[in-house]
Amino acid sequence: MDALYFYRHSQHDDLELRYSLRSLAKHAPWLDKIWIFGDRPVFLADSQTFVEHVPHEAMADLGSYRTPMTNFFIMLLASSHIPDLADEYIWLCDDFICLNELSPESARSCRYIDDLRNVQNRGTGLWAESLWRTYDLLVRLGYPTYNFETHTPTFYRKQWVQDAYEDFQDFVTQDRWYGMLGPTAVLNHACLHGPMDLVHRGDEGGYVGFHGEQPTGEQVRTDCQDKSFLNFDDGAFGPALVNYLDHVLPEPSPAEISDQSGDLPTTESLRSHIPTDTQRGRFPSPMVATRALLGDWLNDVGLRGHGVLIGDQHGRFAETLLRRWRCRQLDCIDAWVCRLDDAQHVDKNNLPQWKIDHAYNETRRRLGSFASRCHIRREVPAEAAGRYADRSLCLVYLDEQHYFQAVWDHLEIWSKKVRPGGILAGHDYLDGVLPSGNFEVKSAVDQWARERSLTVHCTGEEVWRSWIIQIP
């Protein structure tokens, strides 16, 4: 499961988002990845392992949407098409804070405030008008009428969003307030069409909010005691909340560049973990803008045959590749086995076996719709190589172990399987000790290619490049 933020810069130099990200790092460390859709926070680190920024412009062509996007239903729809976003995710804004452990089970609960059928006072203002316009449409169309605007982390499935838009698109606009409210519309649609773990926010008793005016320090400490979720608006966000959040969330998240000025607690800058050659850009000119576009490039150069993807523990890149690449067949090979006893394999994805089994099952679900041209093989990659004739594959993409000898061994084994003119490629083209693991990929690939007079190309990301070699 991932987390997805809708984000625009705040009047407090993006401080609220810092605290929200810290709260997820502390209380929901099991999340696979965090996505920020909208503005790029001023403090965001370059590493895309823990958190990745997607600007509105990257998804606007899906529906010729104006940017910046302002309507939440439109943003829910556009972001649901981010290729690597997990099928299940929690959605947040920067003023949603977790104060206690958020388990995967609790995250999958769908919290609501009330059934709007039981609310007598409709209130006033643009937001209230949007809520009740949504309610009136739900009643007319025969849907449940829960208020899901809870200001807490909210569970979604990509399919829920896309199915709701399919049925409600006539009532969705690009205006911030006009049309249906995204969360209430999407989740009531999902509630009608399938089982859902509904939780009344008031009965749960885990929410506290401060709105309109700044609370005192004593109010914050007292009201937040034993709570799970905190929310506030711009009017309430002041010294008392900042002091409290500094106290309960002192450690920067992996998303932060830690050499920012100011009074926030800091650790050694994440940038210092990135090797000098990565910072200075000592890389070949990009052949492809990002690895997400590799499939398009393969189509353009006429490579549409049989490919093999090694690694890709959760199947996310495989899904992206299959959506874009018109290949005859793609085999996804991974042992899906714990390597915690391998001292050289220092990687955040080196997990206990039960988590790896979960990743395998997630991969099977994610790639199920491509079964006609995608085969998942749970095998040791070096042993699986024997399945393939030499010089038979048009693509081999390596994304498994990242230390020098492992990379070298894969290059030796799998390069023989690529046909002339085919592509040998892989991920994480860099060297260094990073928060996400130890990497020696660049040095191994460069030396191996140099000894064979081969040219290494790459993709154009800031840090997490892929390397590309065309086999003569």
CATH of the domain at 190: 3.90.550
Question: Is there a domain that residue 310 lies in?
Answer: yes
Question: Is there a domain that residue 266 lies in?
Answer: no
Containing structural domain, residue 186? 2-248
For 180, 209, 411, 424, the CA distances from 449, given in Å and listed in that order, are 56, 58, 9, 11
Q: Which of 232, 241, 231, 229 is nearest to 205 (CA)?
A: 229
361 and 458 in a single domain? The answer is yes
Looking at residues 69-83, what average pLDDT do you find? 95
115 and 192 in a single domain? The answer is yes
The Cα–Cα gap between 400 and 428 comes to 10
Q: Which of 215, 347, 251 is nearest to 27 (CA)?
A: 251
Question: Is there a domain that residue 171 lies in?
Answer: yes
- Please identify which residue in the block is written with the tokens 């009608």: 192
As beta bridge partners, residue 462 has none
The pLDDT, as a whole number, for residue 103 is 96
Q: What is the DSSP letter of 109?
A: S
Residues written for the chain: 472
- Give 210's Cβ-side CA count (13 Å radius): 23
- The strand pair at 286-288 and 34-38 is best described as unpaired
Selected residue with higher pLDDT from 58 and 21: 21
Q: Are 325 and 299 in contact (CB under 8 A)?
A: yes
210 and 85 in a single domain? The answer is yes
281 and 206 in a single domain? The answer is no
- Furthest-apart CA atoms within the chain: distance in Å: 77
The pLDDT, as a whole number, for residue 25 is 95
Looking at residues 421-428, what average pLDDT do you find? 96
Q: Are 50 and 256 in contact (CB under 8 A)?
A: no
| Tokens describing residue 360 | 């395998």
Question: Is there a domain that residue 196 lies in?
Answer: yes
52 and 195 in a single domain? The answer is yes
Number of domains in the chain: 2
| Tokens describing residue 105 | 């089970």
The Cα–Cα gap between 192 and 229 comes to 27
Q: Which residues contact 369 (CB under 8 A, 6 or more apart)?
A: none
Q: Are 34 and 24 in contact (CB under 8 A)?
A: yes
196 and 327 in a single domain? The answer is no
pLDDT in tens, 240-291: 999 999 999 988 898 886 433 333 333 232 223 333 333 334 788 788 888 8
67 and 201 in a single domain? The answer is yes
Question: Is there a domain that residue 258 lies in?
Answer: no
Domain harbouring 423, CATH code:
3.40.50.150
111 and 238 in a single domain? The answer is yes
Selected residue with higher pLDDT from 88 and 289: 88
Question: Is there a domain that residue 407 lies in?
Answer: yes
Radius of gyration of the chain (CA): 24
pLDDT in tens, 31-75: 999 999 999 888 888 777 789 999 999 898 888 888 899 999 999
As beta bridge partners, residue 51 has 34
Please give the full DSSP string across 65-95, using - where no structure is assigned: --SS---HHHHHHHHTT-TTS-SEEEEE-TT
Q: Which amino acid is at 410?
A: H
Q: Where are the alpha helices (DSSP H) in 4-71?
A: 15-27, 56-59
Question: Is there a domain that residue 221 lies in?
Answer: yes
Question: Is there a domain that residue 201 lies in?
Answer: yes
226 and 295 in a single domain? The answer is no
298 and 446 in a single domain? The answer is yes
211 and 297 in a single domain? The answer is no
**Whether pLDDT at 346 is above 70:** no
pLDDT in tens, 304-343: 999 999 998 889 899 989 999 999 999 999 999 987 666 6
| Tokens describing residue 129 | 């008008």
Output the average pLDDT for the chain: 89
306 and 237 in a single domain? The answer is no
Q: Where are the alpha helices (DSSP H) in 46-181?
A: 56-59, 72-79, 104-107, 126-141, 158-168
The pLDDT, as a whole number, for residue 273 is 30
Q: Which of 163-172, 283-292, 370-379, 423-432 has the lowest mean pLDDT?
A: 283-292
The Cα–Cα gap between 210 and 219 comes to 10
The pLDDT, as a whole number, for residue 78 is 96
pLDDT in tens, 434-466: 666 788 999 999 999 999 999 999 998 777 899
